[in-house]
Amino acid sequence: MSGDGALAQERVAVGQSIPEICIAITLQRLVMEAGANRDFSLIHHDRQIAVSTGASDAFANTFFLMGMFERSVREWLGPRAMIRKIGPLRMMNFNTVGDTLYFRGEVTGVQQGSQETLLDLLLWCDSERGRTTTCEVRVQCD
Amino acid sequence: MSDLSWGLWGSWEETQACLGEVVGQWQGPDPVERGSIRRWLESKEFGAAAIHVDQQAAREAGYSDLVAPVSMVFSYGIKSYWSPGDPPQSLADEPTQIQIPVIFNVPAPCNKSFATMIEAEFFAPLYPGDSVNCTSRLVDIKRKTLKVGDGAFLRQQDTYVKQTGETVAVAHLDIFRFYAVAGEYADVR
């Protein structure tokens, strides 16, 4: 199903699951991510500062989570899908060093137009500590 | 434990006076280019990325060139942490934080903050060579007392525009700013 947006959207129906992806959160990954997304807030790479805010360790930032939700959608729907909206993205718990994050989702709406199809998706991120993040995404397909 | 605190200090009346105002505006320092895209993909193990790394694949998908992932607009819109002419940082200085205007440019009687929600709509692709500027407004204030302390949700609207004048994205970010007493940071979320 992944890799071909046209093929994917023909088959899409409300309630359909979005394939799971996962990623391990290490301090090295958070440092790589900070360099890549330019958010150098200390809570995302400095354990001592992160702990002072109530987290158990340095934790992933909003940009990383948005990017992972974008990866979920892109891997599933392929290159022709146009991501129109990401969010609301709500953070309910920390995603910290030592967590393995599982990104999953489902289709919540399909609007078939004459030229294009709009898909509404609800995605979420789970870890050993439960659901940490939810995110809605709107995608336009040919 | 660190006692680091951050944010511009002031009264709630001063916070209210910023409602609807532009509270931040700057030019992203770097244009879109392949290297920054590759590094952004790398840290996410983002493999199905043909339109982001392969010009031909992007053209076959309807773009005029390879495109940056939509979420990268935030990174291209972040102001530089240091520029020629700025003073050198000393060890005694507080670390430079990411520029979030509703924290650092809007006064409030708060010493801690965290983000609770972000959403963004995307209107135009970012191609190699594009650069963006960002204009931030404070568009909502909701006073609230949570377990972590008394504060307010401040909503920041960020509009990203590229050099052609096209709006690339409009984002809304909710930040809860609050006054926290040391040792009361548990159960923040």
Domains of chain B, with CATH numbers? Answer: 1-31+98-189 (3.10.129.10), 33-67 (no CATH)
Token pair recorded at residue A54: 């109530």
Dist CA B37 CA B128 (whole Å): 10
- DSSP H helical ranges for B22-123: 34-42, 50-53, 55-60, 73-76, 101-104
Whether residue B61 is predicted with pLDDT greater than 90 in this model: the reply is: yes
- Residue A4: is its pLDDT beyond 50? no
What is the ipTM score, two decimals? 0.93
Number of separate helices (H) and strands (E) present in chain B: 6, 5
pLDDT tens-digit profile of B137-170? Answer: 999 999 999 888 899 999 999 999 999 999 999 9
In one-letter notation, the amino acid at residue A33 is: E
**CB contact (8 A) between residue A88 and residue B119:** yes
* Angle, helices A27-37/B34-42, rounded to nearest 10 degrees: 150
Average pLDDT over residues B105-119: 92
The pLDDT confidence band at residue B128, using thresholds 50, 70 and 90, is very high
Is A110 within 8 Å of chain B by CB?
Answer: no
Tens digit of each residue's pLDDT (9 = 90 or more) over B92-109: 988 888 889 999 999 999
In angstroms, the separation between the Cα of residue A14 and the nearest Cα of chain B is 22
Strand locations in chain A, DSSP E? Answer: 17-24, 82-91, 100-112, 117-127, 130-141
- The torsion angle over the Cα atoms of residues B178, B181, B187 and B189, rounded to 10 degrees, is 10
Q: Which sign does the torsion angle of CA B161, B138, A124, B180 carry?
A: positive
Identify whether the C-beta of residue B30 lies closer than 8 Å to the C-beta of residue B62: no
pLDDT-derived band of residue A10, with 50, 70 and 90 as boundaries?
Answer: low
Q: What is the average per-residue pLDDT within A120-139?
A: 97
Residue B46 contacts A where some CB pair is shorter than 8 Å: yes
How big is the A-B interface in CB pairs under 8 Å? 135
**Inside any domain, residue A64:** yes
Residues 18-57 of A with CB under 8 A from B: 23, 29, 32-33, 35-42, 48-49, 51-55
Please give the pLDDT value at position B5.
Answer: 56
**Does a structural domain hold residue A38?**
no
Which pLDDT value is given to residue B180? 81
Mean pLDDT of chain A: 92
Residue A128 counted as domain residue: yes
Instruction: Render pLDDT for A15-71 as a digit per residue (tens, 0 to 9).
Output: 999 999 999 999 999 999 999 999 998 889 999 988 887 889 999 999 999 999 999
Per the structure, the complete domain to which residue A71 belongs is given by 5-24+59-141
Half-sphere exposure of B104 (CA within 13 A, CB side): 10
* Number of compact structural domains in chain A: 1
- Dihedrals phi, psi of B102, to nearest 5 degrees: -70, -10
Asked if B170 reaches chain A (Cβ–Cβ under 8 Å), the answer is: no
- With bands split at pLDDT 50, 70 and 90, how would you rate the model's confidence at A142? confident
Asked if residue A43 belongs to a domain, the reply is no
B45: left (phi over 0), alpha (psi -120 to 50) or beta: left
Q: What CATH number did the domain enclosing A95 receive?
A: 3.10.129.10
Would you say residue A129 lies in a domain? yes
3-class DSSP assignment, residue A1: coil
Q: Does B71 touch chain A (CB under 8 A)?
A: yes
Percent with pLDDT over 70 in chain B? 93
User: Regarding predicted confidence, which is higher, A88 or B146?
Assistant: A88
Task: Judge whether A40 lies within some domain.
Answer: no
To the nearest whole number, what is the mean pLDDT of chain B?
Answer: 91
What are phi and psi for residue B112, nearest 5 degrees?
A: -145, 165
Q: Is B118 left (phi over 0), alpha (psi -120 to 50) or beta?
A: beta
